[in-house]
Structure 1
Amino acid sequence: MSIVHQQASAAWQQLVSQVCACMAKLSGEQRQALLRWLSELPADQFGARNVRPLQRHISGLAHRQGPQDAREALMRALQLLGLMFGANEKGTRKVAFSEFYNQALSESMDVQYEYVVWRRAKEGAKRQRGPTELVSLCDVPFVLTPEAKGNIFKIEAALQMHHQMHSSGVNALLQGVNPSLVQFLDIRIRRDRVLEDALNQVVGRPHELKKPLRVTFISQGVDEEGLDQGGVKKEFFQLLTREIFNEAYGMFVFNEETRTYWFNATSMEAETEFTLVGQLMGLAIYNSVILDAHFPHCLYLELLGRRPTFLDLKQAMPELGRGLQQLLNFEGDVEATFARNFEVEFEYFGEMRTEELKPGGADIPVTNNNRQEFVDLMTDYYLCRSVARQFSAFAAGFHSVRPLPPHIPLSHMDVLLLNEVAGGPALSLLRDEELELLVCGLPHLDFDALQAAARYEGGFAADHPTMRQFWRVIKALPLDKKRRLLAFATGSDRAPVGGLGKLTLIIQRSGPDSDRLPTAHTCFNYLLLPEYASEEKLRSRLLTAIENAQGFGLQ
């Protein structure tokens, strides 16, 4: 980098800082006027001349650690970026929301500091903040990457677990009980009664869900040996997920086109079972476990309190969506052609029933003038009203793992770290898209990153001929088979937040060349592979294994 460029860069940074300082002094009315002006810019000008230059400025400030003036300059720049974000969300988006993520800032932030400052300001502010004043990067969540938000969740979970363990220990001492017996959420699961035992031991203990989870499996009446260092816990979530989505239970219906599950509107299962599914999802996030559970995107939208739209219905139920879109687009006489009223027909245990979409709907025909209302009511019926009982129980279970926090004064970081955390406000930082990532991971798979993070045991190494063959075979597979391999080895066909580079696949040599198939221990991300004599044999044996696995590997 030349001196001239350095000076030009420094001058440019100074100029942008001055612009941000001026913008920070705008009145509320002036800020609204600026927001309207930004929202009217053409998309190319909005992104190329406003968002991206400001993001470069923020990235430069992110690397200036320490000085208070740098922190203040950063916060002023983020205020201006917040205006741009608001303009982008107003009406049709000009740039993708991910354009507002700042990688440099997300990677360099002190997660614990930002979280604590944010909590203290939210819960016990001893000073009054102005309407636009920022004290923490958590005040501008749109700038934080999903991985950064995942780290915030981990901090929150660790602090809450510490608080719950401390509280339980103190209460135990007062009652003359050994504190070590009450500091964990201990559950004992019979392998042939996974769902039954989870229902009995999780749903009835809402006040203990913030304790660290510790699982013991029971086989033939005997406790299995081994410490739960993460693998046993992961296996519990895998087995329970498989049980919950078993068609025999009838809790969910599977959509072949979207490969997702939705609540069964005619399910006779008790609400406690849907509560358990919600708690399962909340506990998985809380314990940093990716679930192999695929719901349509509207589920995450509704969990955050937002109403689904017709677009969400088209994504969740494409066949129904296409029919309703045809109704909206039809240029002829809707009433005469479609002969529909404001009611919906459905099958209930072999019997056809109807339900009105609005009072008197059976006698109200769908016409050219009211068809949009009909589509809106159909959307509400299928995504909300028809499954209200099931979803309400599910949502209650999910939110019971991270209830709204009580008003706890957070006056000092050390006190906070010891015993002052009891809430779970980090969820408010998430978009629905980001919540989905935390639950079931990233759909994009980078197998180069997986290879770079892999570990080898039992005689294999990165430069071993069999491992070179293995990675050639894997990278040549079509995407669907790559997903099946990932599910075979890890229990999920998606990557954790941050990508496959954050997942450590352990490949262990399981003996010399043989006709045995590869096996896997999904709870530990272990793939056991014989040292096959040829690349073709490796490919054949591996494909046979993954195509005959039942979702979670062979072991």
Structure 2
Amino acid sequence: MEFLSMIPENQINHAAVKDHLHIFTSSCVLEALVMLYMSSDKRNKDCAKESIQEFITSIRFMLPQPVSSQFVPLVLELCKMLQSAAGYDDSLYKLCRGSLGVMVKNAKNYHSGDDDDDDNKVIISLQDMFPFAAELANKLSRGLVSSVESPSNFGPLRGDVNDFMAFMKPLKTAVKYQVVSPRPMLPSNSKFTDAINKAAVKYQVGSPRPILPPNSKFTDAINKIKFLYVLFDGLLTTLVACLKKMEVLVIEKKENGGWDQYLVILKELHDISKLYRGGEEYFWTNLKDFKRSLCHLIVRYAIRDEDYGWILQQKDAINFESRRHLVMLLFPVVMDENDDIHEMLINRTQLLAESFVYIAHEDPDRLRSGLFMEFKDEEATGPGVLREWFFLLSQEIFNPKTGLFVACPNDPRRFFPNPASRADPLDLEYFNFAGRVIALALMNRVPVGIVFDRSFFLQLAGKNVSLEDIKDVDPFLYSSCRKILDMDPLAVDEDALGLTFVWNVDKLGAMDVVELCPGGKNMIVNSKNRKTYVDLLIHHCFVVSVAEQISHFARGFTDIVGGENILKMFFSSLTLEDFDKMLHGSETDISVVDWKAHTDYEGYSPTDPQIYWFWKIVEEMTGEQRKVLLFFWISMKYLPVEGFGGLTSRLYIYKSKESFDHLPSSHTCFYQICLPAYPSMDVMKNRLNVITQHHVGCSFGTS
């Protein structure tokens, strides 16, 4: 510690720090500490261990980074000595190795093996890192194999994985910027030597097969490429073999605790694969047959604040459940109990206007912290009422009568921003509000029974809109454009269309002519430019005309998810069908068999006549009546795509103490319906028929 305190104050003077370190190393202090650590006397061993730990900790956390980076060669030598004397499994060696990895990862420059003796570089050869990287790769491989041999075995440890990634960073950087090529060829069939020889001929000047000098920059680059590839290919091969065994274990439900680092290792291997031409294809080709294992790892082990963009880009590699799980990790955590919870008291008759007041201009942090919802003059409170509010409000926002969105003629569940909505001076604020509401509904996992038109969805994902994307929202325009593109070229050139590059827009009853491009009034549509005309027309009608509305909707959505990059990641990672399932919920008819399988009883037994009558009546209901009954029961008309199994709780039928002349009641927060002991099936059916009327089924629960 006294030595550290004597480091020259001028941290920029690397030469002075280097001279100071030379005095320390020349005194053989490290050798003495290691000898003391290997002593059979416990007091000597403990003294050395404490000294080395304090020394390493002080270097990492007390010294400025420019100074601590100069200690990398010293810590490297300490690691080598401890590894030789104490072995790979020694705890002190692991501490020093991990510290070396972090210091190497954080350092900006490395000595590349040439004659450059720049004082601004960390004097450590990248090849000095090879043994540590190889040691950790082998350790990870052993851990991976162990994790699938028996349910009781553990896999790679988080500390070893983090150390491996630390040593990988400078090696990846070296390969990325090496002298051969920005992206060296990934060898096929692991014939790496042949590929390297061919590369050597290509990038050397002179004879067809030049002899490379032993210490050339080219040879140094080749060594790095070869070493990193060998680690990558070996670890990937082991991992693929483990995923293959995992396929069977997942089916047999033989879970263990040793798979939690698989995704982290896979991401690191994917990062390495991107350094080689053909590398990503090689990586995903190896994984294509293990979809079940990948999906299990994601649902079971994916956590917040990690980057999963690498796997979300491969939509075919995982299923909907996995994609949904990953994109939901982008949302803030829902706080059910929070002192800063946002409370709302809303009149049902003023649902849209009063909800706007509570949501539109509230601090997003407050909205993310949790919502508490209550309707005026009603006793019910809690999550069930919140689910009901989300559903009813979303239906109101997207109701075409509101004027914000229009329904698609071919699919009335789908909605697109109304280009004519600008007639209302508050329309943009309402679009911002709508974006917040939809994001909050998704965050709270409430299916709201509406879906977006494809062109609307694509723009939120930052993608272009083409003719094929407008089929649902404007089938007439789609058909017209299709005819223009399919017409005989001669007929088009004879001005059979009679079109120029303009579009007539109805603005409050008056027709306004809009040029699709500068000078469009004087440009006749012909066979050569008709594709351009159609593209410009689609762009105007479905992008330009609603640009402000979509921009404000996206801004409101972003307010909740916390950033524009998260919004783009969310929508670009999903297919439209994925988003439909998340926002709308299940589109299949409610299964009574599935309903019964996920329902328990309190006060009743499954064999009681009232229970038999109840399910018999439900079986005879129409699909819409079942939805209304379900809404009365749990405040949801649309189930998750998994059906009742996707709910957060099982459902319950409670035996009510009320007389049989009372209607059923519900506790929607707890998924409970309370049935009086009705004396006959006819009486029960009469009561349930009252409940399944729309105006009664809503807002009839008690909590």
Same fold (TM over 0.5): yes
- The answer as to whether partners of 2:384 and 2:634 remain within 8 angstroms in 1 is no
Query: What is the SS of the residue equivalent to 1:396?
Result: helix
1:421-462 deviations in whole A, cap 9, x for unaligned? xx8897378313333332222324562433322345674747
Partner of 1:47: none
Shift of 1:396: 0.7
* 2: CA distance, partners of 1:338 / 1:488: 56
After TM superposition, list the pairs within 5 Å mapping 1:98-247 onto structure 2: 102-109=291-298, 111=300, 114-116=302-304, 118=306, 143-152=317-326, 157=331, 159=333, 161=335, 180=339, 183-209=340-366, 211-219=368-376, 224-228=378-382, 230-247=383-400
Is 1:549 the equivalent of 2:703? no
Q: Report the AA paired with residue 438 of structure 1.
A: M
* 2: CA distance, partners of 1:185 / 1:109: 32
Shift of 1:30: 4.0
- The answer as to whether partners of 1:469 and 1:535 remain within 8 angstroms in 2 is no
- The answer as to whether partners of 1:512 and 1:532 remain within 8 angstroms in 2 is no
Q: Report the AA paired with residue 329 of structure 1.
A: D
Q: What CA RMSD, in Å, does the superposition of the two structures yield over aligned residues?
A: 4.9
1:148-189 deviations in whole A, cap 9, x for unaligned? 444456656564759x96xxxxxxxxxxxxxx3xx2122332
Is 1:304 the equivalent of 2:502? no
* 1: CA distance, partners of 2:403 / 2:638: 25
- The answer as to whether partners of 1:250 and 1:264 remain within 8 angstroms in 2 is yes
Partner of 1:265: 419
Partner of 2:60: none
Question: Which of 613, 616, 619 matches 1:466?
Answer: 613
1:376-415 deviations in whole A, cap 9, x for unaligned? 2222222211111211111111111112299xxxxxxxxx
* 2: CA distance, partners of 1:249 / 1:203: 17
Is 1:501 the equivalent of 2:645? yes
Query: What is the SS of the residue equivalent to 1:280?
Result: helix
1:199-227 deviations in whole A, cap 9, x for unaligned? 2222212432553332343526xxx4454
% identity of equivalent residues: 21
* 2: CA distance, partners of 1:32 / 1:380: 44
Q: Go from structure 1 to structure 2 and tell me whether the alpha carbon gap of 1:545 and 1:190 turns closer, same or farther (over 3 Å shift).
A: closer
* 1: CA distance, partners of 2:406 / 2:679: 41
- The answer as to whether partners of 2:586 and 2:640 remain within 8 angstroms in 1 is yes
After TM superposition, list the pairs within 5 Å mapping 1:49-448 onto structure 2: 59-60=247-248, 65-66=257-258, 83=281, 102-109=291-298, 111=300, 114-116=302-304, 118=306, 143-152=317-326, 157=331, 159=333, 161=335, 180=339, 183-209=340-366, 211-219=368-376, 224-228=378-382, 230-259=383-412, 260-267=414-421, 268-269=423-424, 270=426, 271-331=428-488, 333-334=491-492, 336-404=495-563, 427=570, 430-433=573-576, 434-445=578-589, 447=591, 448=593
* 2: CA distance, partners of 1:508 / 1:28: 66
Using CA pairs under 8 Å that are at least 6 residues apart, name the structure with larger relative contact order, 1 or 2: 1
* 1: CA distance, partners of 2:455 / 2:314: 24
* 2: CA distance, partners of 1:368 / 1:519: 67
- The answer as to whether partners of 2:631 and 2:697 remain within 8 angstroms in 1 is yes
5+ residue gaps, structure 2? 1-144, 150-171, 177-181, 190-239
State the structure with more CA Rg.
2
Shift of 1:508: 6.3
* 2: CA distance, partners of 1:201 / 1:65: 45
- The answer as to whether partners of 2:459 and 2:465 remain within 8 angstroms in 1 is yes
- The answer as to whether partners of 2:558 and 2:564 remain within 8 angstroms in 1 is no
- TM norm structure 2: 0.52
- The answer as to whether partners of 1:461 and 1:467 remain within 8 angstroms in 2 is no
Partner of 2:213: none
Q: Report the AA paired with residue 353 of structure 1.
A: D
Q: Report the AA paired with residue 66 of structure 1.
A: G
